[in-house]
Amino acid sequence: MNVPSVNSFNKTIACPSSNVLLSFHLQTLSPEIRTLVKHHLAGCDFCCAEMPLLAHYQRPLKGECKPPEIPINLRILAESLLGKCRTGRKVSAQEKSLKLSFSITGG
């Protein structure tokens, strides 16, 4: 029994990035690029399906993209596994006491 081939539903190398599609949605592209994206959307089901998802995108507020701080006990563990503190920063008294308690408990 032969199964008919089905085109895969995925982004291809010819597809614009999600950032470009978002810029298209926000109408911030140059007219030339906008025309190219519009032409691509006419023949690409995947990008057409991505457009409604991008309509819900909200830009993060300023400072919202900052990575979270590493918990102190996890930082101490990582530094002990990697050897010396490679950051060159000064180790606080709290970190020293946590490191001591960590080594005493065998954790």
- The DSSP result for 66-97, as a single string, is PPPPPPHHHHHHHHHHHSS-TT-PPPPHHHHH
Q: Report residue 39's pLDDT band, with 50, 70 and 90 as the boundaries.
A: very high
Per the domain annotation, does 30 fall within a domain? yes
Distance CA 94, CA 82 (A): 20
- Contact criterion met (CB below 8 Å) for 15 and 47: yes
Its domain, for residue 93, covers 72-105
The pLDDT tens digits for 11-26 are 889 999 999 999 999 9
The pLDDT tens digits for 66-103 are 777 888 888 888 888 887 555 555 556 655 555 555 55
Per the domain annotation, does 64 fall within a domain? no
Per the domain annotation, does 65 fall within a domain? no
Per the domain annotation, does 80 fall within a domain? yes
Q: Report residue 7's pLDDT band, with 50, 70 and 90 as the boundaries.
A: low
